Copies of this chain bind each other. A is one copy, B any other.
Amino acid sequence: MRLFSPYYIGIMTGTSMDAIDVVIARFGDEPEVTSEYSAPIPSDLRPLLMDLASQEKIDIDLFVRMHFILAQAYADAVDSALRKAGLSADDIRAIGLHGQTIRHLPKPLKISGSLPAAGATFQLGSGPALAALTGIDVISDFRSADITLGGEGAPLVPMFDYRFLRSESHNRIVLNIGGIANLTYLPAKCREEDVLAFDTGPGNMILDALAREYFGKDYDEGGALAEGGRLDEGLLTQLLSNQYFSEPPPKSTGRELFGKTFVERIRSLITENSLSPQDALRVATELTAQSIAQAFELLPQESLKAHPTEIIASGGGVKNIFLCKRIGDLLPHIKFRISDEVGIPSQAKEALAFALFAKAFLDGSHIHLPKTTGASKKIILGSLSHGK
């Protein structure tokens, strides 16, 4: 099998907009990661992307050009990843491209009297442009069809989790802490229809924004700054009262809810309460940890009790030791494991999932799971652009 199994590339840039994660992999019974590569988003590009994601009005010429410029940055990252792996474009069957989410608006809204209400989502980084630049087939735009069918357009990674992380003996809560944190619940011995998944709320997004704002750092390394701060319980309670945390799944969120406006609210509350920058990181870290722990209450409690449960964690957030410790403390009966321990690279898991989704498109396989997005039916997700 291995000899004839082709390589796939997955590309992920999450809501934290800190890096372009590229993974090269083959898929048999297990995913076999050939190479991981993380390219910084070009320094001139990041503030432009942040602007697009946070501003209400944008220059449409710029927006449209960015779609192509970001594709160029992805192509450069693919080129570097291929060189690192000693492979060429001809070795790759296809690229699965997530793209950079600029808007994710799953709730249908009427914009004018006679027009139908519609949900919407948009990932920047043109698929056909990337295909033309790399000479490799690209599958992109994985979320639009799901939203059109009434789904949340997210999460999509649960199919990957189901395929490669379900266990016969343990309930597994697959937790990815990116800019946003999300979980996939895989009861022991589960079938497709038992899988539950949703965004729990903020992951690193608020922490990174505060680290940048107060300390000029890209992130709070290991969570050390937060650990040295004092926890303001009143402020924590106030932040945890956000109704998103108690909403039942399916649900998904992003920068719209926990982006710039939310961070600004925290900052003004910090100032009002005369708290220190480290206190700010402390309360935000606790908000992330507790919103994740609270999300476990939204899972079916009977099945949770039926088998021992373990967390399989991935994403940039697992490097935040203090955050992981807090999650572990809040959930003392649940074993906290990093996904690398079970063969899935924690820093490349989402990129790896999109490599699998490229393969699924070409295989004609569905990556939809009932209950996870809420879409009315299964459909093959993604759009194929040829590289030649």
Find out whether the CB atom of B144 lies under 8 angstroms from the CB atom of A126: yes
Find out whether the CB atom of B145 lies under 8 angstroms from the CB atom of A128: yes
A385 at the interface (CB under 8 A from B): yes
Chain B residue nearest to A103 in the complex (CB): B64
Neighbouring B residues of A112 by C-beta, 8 Å: 44-45, 48
Neighbouring B residues of A57 by C-beta, 8 Å: 57-60
**0/1 per residue, A205-241, Cβ < 8 Å to B?**
0000000000000000000000000000000000000
A1 at the interface (CB under 8 A from B): no
Find out whether the CB atom of B60 lies under 8 angstroms from the CB atom of A118: no
Which single member of B56, B59, B60, B381 contacts A52 (CB below 8 Å)?
B60
Pick from A26-34, A66-74, A170-178, A349-357 the stretch touching chain B.
A66-74
A299 at the interface (CB under 8 A from B): no
Within 8 A of B (CB), among A33-63: 42-45, 48, 52, 55-63
Neighbouring B residues of A122 by C-beta, 8 Å: 64, 67
The secondary-structure label for the interface of chain A is mixed
Find out whether the CB atom of A67 lies under 8 angstroms from the CB atom of B120: yes
Each complex incorporates copies of this chain amounting to 2
A200 to chain B minimum Cβ distance, whole angstroms, is 24
How far is A91 from B379 in the complex, measured between Cα atoms in Å? 19
Pick from A129-137, A188-196, A300-308, A325-333 the stretch touching chain B.
A129-137
A141 at the interface (CB under 8 A from B): yes
What's the tally of chain A residues with a CB closer than 8 Å to chain B?
64
With contacts A128-B141, A128-B144 known, is A60 near B55, CB below 8 A? Answer: yes
A267 at the interface (CB under 8 A from B): no
| Beyond A129-B145, A132-B145, 19 additional pairs, beta carbon < 8 A | A42-B115, A44-B113, A52-B60, A56-B61, A57-B58, A58-B58, A58-B60, A61-B105, A67-B122, A68-B120, A69-B118, A126-B148, A128-B381, A131-B379, A132-B146, A144-B385, A361-B386, A379-B388, A384-B384
9 A-B pairs in the complex with CB atoms less than 8 angstroms apart: A48-B111, A56-B59, A63-B63, A64-B105, A64-B120, A68-B120, A69-B115, A141-B383, A380-B388
Chain A: residues with CB nearer than 8 A to chain B? 42-45, 48, 52, 55-69, 71-72, 102-103, 105, 109, 111-116, 118-122, 126-129, 131-133, 140-141, 144-149, 361, 379-388
